[in-house]
Structure 1
């Protein structure tokens, strides 16, 4: 990572910097999507930075270190032309992911002064007190709002609050702030802020209350430090809240992903990535052919017949019966097409050498799974998933079913987004539709799912920008059942097959017409492509795994509290689910460990028949 150049340094934006910028540490490429993406805070040694926005990244990200990747279905969903991998730079690289110093407020542990970093007069390229020559410590506290804005903690207002917040001399008392620790305890009461102007010193106790800053008369200023100091603040009416600099609530990514499926999965359509919107507007084969000749000044790299087939495949993913489909409608249409392809597989004879999706029927007898209510297992021997960073949120986990309160990655519209591609393998299975519908008709099953749906919709309304436009919760009996089953299978494979739970990921296909799970390797390391997961999908072995997973889920070390819980998890969005039984690392779960209920798998002591696998246990 590299900080932005100083303002006085001017370079030609069309070429690389004249000299290498200062380096401030390194992170893995995948972390630039999931952990340290645009707008996040990152600690490097004793310094703290915010990852800069994507404005200008097209020019200072090298094409060799940050190549383009294509996934038309996801690009169309996110309204971009292509994606780019975050740069993988080395010691000879002139640039990388840029960062900016944040928070700016620092304190010196020797003289206890609390002021802006530049006011300490540090030597160039170092973060030390110019007087004491000891390392400066970035402020432990920042403030953020639900609109995605980020700002410095208002120390001056906090220490002068007894004098009134409406003082016209705010920040101009002429004194110097100090911060020290009394050492009596590790609580906020021991962190003391004072000012040399003579006001009584105060501790940081109470600064984390939800209305602590609102009571001071402070509102969010709408600052976006990741986009630079020259970017004007946004109007914002939210009340900011105090957070610790390293808190996970400071930054949560909004990720969207898609599988590469035929006819897009062989890479032949990549040269047309920038022209699809124009091609979709044309009528008939002749117009498409003439357009291709014009665009490529001669012969097209993709035959006209293939282009027509690709356009037809794209129209098949248009949401049916929607004149102005929302993002949620288009995302469901994308999932439906993946579900159809996973069910059908692809013929080996029709595969090219570059095919990135190989899905086959297992050799064993699928009838072994019928007593379990499982059908249609498929072995996904080769798959590619593209995950793109769409935006980010603050003060709450990103929810797959909401789009509100997302902070932008740049000040201007971009034709691309940062993304990662994962290549691996997986196992796809479905629930028997007849048995599933019979189970769903149970009023006791529906009642448990309704409790989760109500809690989830209440949580989404609280987080949404416009509560009236919140889409309905996906929570329903089959969705909660599929989600919980996916979790117990991942846990079982982590114990029985040696896969780390964090190396596996779920992809759920659940609505009135779908009832399937894809469990696949979620990392690009050696755990992702050795064939071990595909071997677990053979019907005989899969039946043993499901039986063992269900029996293991029958008991939790936190029972009876876990299974008898009326509500658990964030906002009561779980029932019988905890970290001792079905929860996974959050990178493996599509819904941040929400909408889980072990009772819908195995039942409860009072009512064992509500479990889908009750017959297996009996």
Structure 2
């Protein structure tokens, strides 16, 4: 398998080969509702005891032999069954390093034949017409594309791969996207597509980016009792009265209704509270923000012992020690989330574009036909929730220097989104506000601090941000389901007597970077200039820990700049 390359299959026939034992159902009504599915399923793990597992398809099909240098489709080398070797040389075949993809999500083989025959004239020949055999070799002079050489036995001049990554390289060859979807299999017809594909490295992160959506299980949905009603919620929502709901449930379950009618009515009322009003109903982004808003309310309010059942999956309490220790830090309202459950669902995927900067039209479906479920995973752990002091935050947000820095990042992010969008007028507004960037950067420095103080690797912690006109909070929680995510020590960091010194230490640590003064004085950093004072030596985290792929960060908003230290939200903390 070391010399082979595969693409994970789509979900077209997953219902047939994913057994319920290995791929159990996962329920999270709030998330399922906005994603318009009935439930989720945990993808089956492939091990020696599994009956099936995740299926894959060979891609790319173009391979080369390092001995004879021939470049052909895999089957044309006549490899023995179950092996990927050249039938003549018996050397391990090497999958093509290059593939092509378009923004819509189509994926295809790199057009080597067109590339080497391009001197013959644009659009005058078709692949394979010359009858020659392609060869690929490396000159060994350097590791650049100039040293990768492609030739054809028909006698055309040998060419290098240099220039193949230009945005217009394939357009200059007269090639358009063929609309192929190899992850769905050969029986699925190609789609019509008028876009020009781009060349990518096979292992590049731009080839596939997941579109993940997640939700915390919060009361009244967090005790799991409503899971048995999952297939019927959409029908129940259409009913107006308690009597109609009761009649419907009796029709389905008889006299053994698994959830008391009072609880069903309370669940329906809670669900309707999250429904956006007016035109916002049509917007997925508004519905997703409503989901976050309800989580924020519950994290602020917590739940005491009287509200819990034995199966409660969300336990959020106020700290035992006095909050006075946090006075002067700008942080308030810490809550100890002693038990939480998060469901992360794979909604779709994108190519060539970050999901955070792509519109929904870019999202490629996981299956040819729509399913009533999506693949997902659930994480159970603990966390610490805290908020920023509103009075101090409101005054800070009005500072001209703060507004200017946030606007620079916002403009860069906007330009990046427009660059990838097919219709720039449909791009969503950038979330880069002073409040959001402050919370985001604070979450990063806290995770770095706790990874040093509490023994957690940074990759075992994750941020969840709540930032808009009415929210200013963040949740740091265990992000993995292995032992590193369940050490039990994270909640203890939320006690004010420990949280206050941790905030002060994190802010002081953020006031200096080993890349300073270059880092703090930079005019733009990160992808497309979507960061300011942020680098891997100070505030960046492992990608699994960050909600925004390490963009929209600026530690100057925390600590100020050498020219204007008072601009930092935590400037007073640094003075003591």
The normalised TM-score by structure 1 is 0.91
- Superposed CA deviations along residues 501-530 of structure 1, whole A, max 9, x for unmatched, are 100000000011000010000001122223
Mapped partners of 2:108, 2:330: distance in 1: 53
1:387 aligns with 2:331: no
- Superposed CA deviations along residues 77-123 of structure 1, whole A, max 9, x for unmatched, are 11100000010243243322111110001111111111111111111
Equivalent of 1:342 in 274, 285, 299: 299
Residues 177/309 of structure 1: CA separation in 2 closer, same or farther (3 Å cut): same
Equivalent of 1:189 in 143, 146, 169: 146
| CA apart distance, 1:400 | 7.0
Mapped partners of 2:360, 2:527: distance in 1: 18
Equivalent of 1:261 in 199, 218, 224: 218
Contact (CA 8 Å) 1:608, 1:614: kept in 2 or not?
Answer: yes
Aligned residue in 2 for 1:418: 375
Residues 317/235 of structure 1: CA separation in 2 closer, same or farther (3 Å cut): same
| CA apart distance, 1:275 | 0.9
Contact (CA 8 Å) 1:383, 1:425: kept in 2 or not?
Answer: yes
Aligned residue in 2 for 1:360: 317
Contact (CA 8 Å) 2:85, 2:91: kept in 1 or not?
Answer: yes
Equivalent of 2:73 in 116, 131, 134: 116
1:612 aligns with 2:562: no
Equivalent of 2:119 in 162, 177, 189: 162
Residue correspondence of structure 1 range 536-551 to structure 2 within 5 A: 536-551=493-508
| CA apart distance, 1:462 | 2.2
Contact (CA 8 Å) 1:404, 1:466: kept in 2 or not?
Answer: no
Residues 491/93 of structure 1: CA separation in 2 closer, same or farther (3 Å cut): closer
Mapped partners of 1:54, 1:209: distance in 2: 33
Contact (CA 8 Å) 1:429, 1:516: kept in 2 or not?
Answer: yes
- Superposed CA deviations along residues 441-477 of structure 1, whole A, max 9, x for unmatched, are 1111111111111111222222234322222111111
Mapped partners of 2:194, 2:411: distance in 1: 28
Equivalent of 1:303 in 260, 266, 275: 260
Mapped partners of 1:454, 1:569: distance in 2: 14
- Superposed CA deviations along residues 50-70 of structure 1, whole A, max 9, x for unmatched, are 110000101100110010000
Aligned residue in 1 for 2:416: 459
Equivalent of 2:59 in 87, 99, 102: 102
Residues 401/246 of structure 1: CA separation in 2 closer, same or farther (3 Å cut): closer
Aligned residue in 1 for 2:171: 214
Residues 401/478 of structure 1: CA separation in 2 closer, same or farther (3 Å cut): farther
Residues 76/169 of structure 1: CA separation in 2 closer, same or farther (3 Å cut): closer
1:313 aligns with 2:280: no
Aligned residue in 2 for 1:237: 194
Equivalent of 1:136 in 93, 99, 109: 93
Unpaired runs of at least 5, structure 2: none
Contact (CA 8 Å) 2:359, 2:426: kept in 1 or not?
Answer: no
Corresponding residue SS for 1:273 = helix
1:271 aligns with 2:250: no
Contact (CA 8 Å) 2:176, 2:195: kept in 1 or not?
Answer: yes
1:93 aligns with 2:50: yes
Contact (CA 8 Å) 2:71, 2:134: kept in 1 or not?
Answer: yes
Contact (CA 8 Å) 1:328, 1:401: kept in 2 or not?
Answer: no
Equivalent of 1:444 in 394, 401, 415: 401
Moved over 3 A (4+): 320-325
Aligned residue in 2 for 1:22: none
Contact (CA 8 Å) 1:404, 1:463: kept in 2 or not?
Answer: no
- Superposed CA deviations along residues 415-442 of structure 1, whole A, max 9, x for unmatched, are 0000010000000000010111011111
Mapped partners of 2:4, 2:70: distance in 1: 17
RMSD of aligned Cα (Å) = 1.3
- Superposed CA deviations along residues 554-585 of structure 1, whole A, max 9, x for unmatched, are 01111111111111111111111111111111
Corresponding residue SS for 1:337 = helix
- Superposed CA deviations along residues 487-507 of structure 1, whole A, max 9, x for unmatched, are 000111111221111000000
Residues 92/602 of structure 1: CA separation in 2 closer, same or farther (3 Å cut): closer
Mapped partners of 2:279, 2:517: distance in 1: 47
61-70 vs 298-307, greater mean Cα deviation: 298-307
| CA apart distance, 1:402 | 4.2
Contact (CA 8 Å) 1:65, 1:89: kept in 2 or not?
Answer: no
| CA apart distance, 1:324 | 3.2
| CA apart distance, 1:183 | 1.7
| CA apart distance, 1:169 | 4.1
1:555 aligns with 2:533: no
Aligned residue in 2 for 1:428: 385
Mapped partners of 1:510, 1:492: distance in 2: 22
Equivalent of 1:485 in 434, 442, 451: 442
Aligned residue in 1 for 2:39: 82
Mapped partners of 2:420, 2:151: distance in 1: 36
Corresponding residue SS for 2:494 = coil
Aligned residue in 2 for 1:580: 537
Unpaired runs of at least 5, structure 1: 1-43
